[in-house]
Structure 1
Amino acid sequence: MMKQLKTLLIAATLLFSTSQVIAQAKIAHVDTNEIMSKMPAMMEAQKQLDNLQKTYDKEFKTMVDEYQSKLEKYNREAETVTEQLNTERAKEVQDMEKRIQDYRQTAQKELNQKEEDLMKPLMDRAKAAIEKVGKAKGYQYVINSTGLLLADGPDLTTDVKKELGF
């Protein structure tokens, strides 16, 4: 019983001291989604990603159209050609299916990599601006407001956008 009381007393002391530290800390928030979406470089990066996606989609559609065309032709002619030719055609269709699947996977990986390559420097730049503005205004913590249920403290979003030049 004494051990439980001691543990409870320690827990209460820690909770009280932690709440005092938090109460003394200066906390602000920013909307990183708004900052990122308004960055001119982000708009350009999104345009590059959209163009790349369109290129992949066009190539994918061409491959699928060719596949469907051959499949229809082979199905129409299946009864009039030799068994050996049907076997060769079946293998060709399977190979085309695999190429289409491989292309889709490769295109998605390349698109994800391109997105990461374009976004990382922008996120780093935004983070540096948030840190600079937060420190300049004397805040120990700057929290992303997109996940907050209550954001009643200072909002640094406008200041960060100014720091980034837009």
Structure 2
Amino acid sequence: MKLKITLIVALLIASFGFSQTKVGTVDTDFVMGKMPEMKEVITRINSYGKQLDSSFQVKAKDYSAKIEAFKKIEKTLKEEDKKKKINEIAVVEQEMAKFRKNGSTLIQLRRDEFMKPLYKKLNAAIQEIAKAEGYTQILSTRGNDFAYIDDRFDITNKVMAKLGIKE
């Protein structure tokens, strides 16, 4: 009986020894910021932002023109026509508010779209290094609260070298 218990304990200890994990870290934001493709992404995002801004400026000019036109003819309009013009102005005002509200969301969506190929490239490099060096997990150092990280397990420089990025 003691032999069976000793054998079971030995097997449990052996299985814990074989199932050790190797965890590494990578500073993905740092690597992304150094990728040469990032300049093009920033340029494209800025260009899209300017497009949205010019669209908003057109709406703002239309709104101002409708207000000015209404002020000029307000005294000559019948009550029913006044209400109609005020409703037209209110619709433009609502469109502007909606456009303003959705603008940041649209830019974020476009940014995500432009960044997707960079994330794929980064992820492929991380996976390749992790498999080659026997890591079971790679954690991003950004956005996580780590009390301690051993620099020996940080693969940021290896990922940058894999992607051909010089510090």
Q: TM-score under structure 2 normalisation?
A: 0.73
In structure 2, what is the Cα distance between the partners aligned to 1:21 and 1:79?
89
In structure 2, what is the Cα distance between the partners aligned to 1:165 and 1:102?
43
Shift of 1:151: 1.3
Q: Write the letter of the residue equivalent to 1:84.
A: E
- Which of 28, 34, 56 lines up with 1:32 in the alignment? 28
Shift of 1:48: 0.3
SS in 2 for 1:24: coil
Other-structure match for 1:91: 87
Q: TM-score under structure 1 normalisation?
A: 0.73
Other-structure match for 2:67: 71
Shift of 1:120: 1.7
Q: Write the letter of the residue equivalent to 2:90.
A: Q
TM-aligned CA distance change 1:21 to 1:56, over 3 Å: farther
**Superimposed CA distance per residue, residues 107-132 of structure 1 (whole angstroms, 9 cap, x where no aligned partner):** 55543442232222211111110111
Shift of 1:80: 3.8
Shift of 1:53: 0.8
Other-structure match for 2:58: 62
SS in 1 for 2:139: strand
In structure 2, what is the Cα distance between the partners aligned to 1:143 and 1:82?
69
Shift of 1:59: 1.5
Other-structure match for 2:8: none
Other-structure match for 1:161: 160
Q: Write the letter of the residue equivalent to 1:66.
A: D
The number of aligned residues is: 149
- Which of 133, 148, 151 lines up with 2:149 in the alignment? 151
Identity %: 26
TM-aligned CA distance change 1:22 to 1:113, over 3 Å: farther
Q: Write the letter of the residue equivalent to 1:154.
A: F
Other-structure match for 2:110: 114
Instruction: Name whichever structure is richer in helix by fraction.
Output: 1
Q: Write the letter of the residue equivalent to 1:161.
A: M
Q: Write the letter of the residue equivalent to 2:149.
A: A
Alignment RMSD, CA only?
2.9
| Contiguous gaps of at least 5 residues in structure 1 | 1-16
In structure 2, what is the Cα distance between the partners aligned to 1:23 and 1:77?
82
SS in 1 for 2:153: coil
TM-aligned CA distance change 1:30 to 1:56, over 3 Å: same
In structure 1, what is the Cα distance between the partners aligned to 2:78 and 2:18?
81
| Contiguous gaps of at least 5 residues in structure 2 | 1-12
Shift of 1:68: 3.0
Matches within 5 A, 1:3-42: 24-42=20-38
SS in 2 for 1:142: strand
Shift of 1:30: 0.4
Q: Write the letter of the residue equivalent to 2:160.
A: K
